[in-house]
Amino acid sequence: MRSSRRQFLRRILGSSGAVLCGGSLLAEAAGETSQPQPARVIRIEAKKFTYTPNEIAIQQGESVILDLTALDFVHGFNIPDLHVRADIVPGKATRLPLQFPSAGKISFLCDNFCGSGHEEMGGNFNVIAS
């Protein structure tokens, strides 16, 4: 009796494996892949009263990593709409993984006072609908 039970289980498992492999091959043939695209790295430099670049185009839903560096002072980096905030320390890279779920303009700004002109230190992510 155990022998027939083993044979039954082997047939069931073998059939399941064939179905799973077949489905995977069909998805691959249709151009679908389950591997996510690697995140795009966007370098942003902060220095007295400016971010470079300060206008950045991004596709809706795109995964990015912001690579932030400060050249002169400890600057703040704040994206109020996404509830994201970090300090950017000179000589140290700050990396922020982000995704932009909605299309539109999303502003970022410095929230560490860095002198007269600080209030102008900001920029925008222009998120393009996909």
Residue 67 is predicted with a pLDDT of 98
Residue 22 is predicted with a pLDDT of 46
Sign, Cα dihedral of 21, 22, 23, 25: positive
The 10 Å Cβ neighbour count of residue 102 is: 11
Q: The domain containing residue 75 runs over which residues? A: 2-128
Residue 118 is predicted with a pLDDT of 74
Find the CATH number of the domain harbouring 95. 2.60.40.420
Structure tokens at 9: 């289980």
Residue 98 is predicted with a pLDDT of 96
Residue 53 is predicted with a pLDDT of 98
H helix count then E strand count, the chain: 1, 9
Per-residue pLDDT of the chain (130 residues; tens, 9 = 90+): 555 655 655 665 554 444 444 444 444 555 555 677 899 999 999 999 999 999 999 999 999 999 999 999 999 999 999 999 999 999 999 999 999 999 999 999 999 887 777 788 999 999 999 8
The domain tally of the chain equals 1
CA distance 87 to 98: 16
Residue 62 is predicted with a pLDDT of 94
